[in-house]
Amino acid sequence: MTPDALAALHAACFDTPRPWQAEEFTRILDDRGVFLIAAPSGFALGRVLVDEAELLTLAVDPGARRRGAGRSLLRRFEAEARDRAAGTAFLEVASGNAPALALYQAAGWATAGRRPGYYRKPDGSRIDAITLRKALAEI
C-alpha cells in the first residue's frame, strides 16, 4: 500500500485519534524497526525496538469489518513482532473505541494503563487512551 492509500483508509476509519496524512506515513515507514502488514481490506503498522513491539495503528475498511480482517491483521502483527525478537507488545486505543477494545481483549491483550485526556476529539473535547499489553511468547 502506498502512503496515499494508507492515509485514505486511515481517514475512513478514524476521527479520534485524528487520521494520519500521507506524509506522516512516509516518514513513519522510513523509521528504524517499522513494518507494515497489508491486506486487501486493511493494514497494521508496527515497530520493534530492542525487544518490545508497538502496534502503531490498525485499520480495517468500514465496509469489510466483522469478517475477521482485524483478527488476521492483529495475528500477523504479533507473529512479525515475535519474528523480530519482541517479547512483549503494547498499543494505545481510544477508550471510546469499543470494537477495537473487544478485538484486542479477545486476542489476549490486557489493560496496562490509562492516559487521561490523551486524544482530542474533532469537537475539541478529550478522551482517554487505554494502554494494552501482551506477552508475545504466549502466541
pLDDT for the residue numbered 139: 47
- The answer, yes or no, to whether residue 106 has pLDDT greater than 70, is yes
CATH code of the domain occupying 3-138: 3.40.630.30
Q: Are 67 and 116 in contact (CB under 8 A)?
A: no
* Polymer length in residues for the chain: 139
The backbone region for 68, taken as left when phi is positive above 0, alpha when psi lies in -120 to 50, beta otherwise, is left
**pLDDT per residue as tens digits for the range 75-96:** 999 999 999 999 999 999 999 9
Mean pLDDT of the chain: 95
Tell whether pTM > 0.85: yes
Distances (CA, A) of 57 to 43, 92: 8, 9
Domain ranges of the chain: 3-138
Backbone angles phi, psi at 41, to 5 degrees: -110, 10
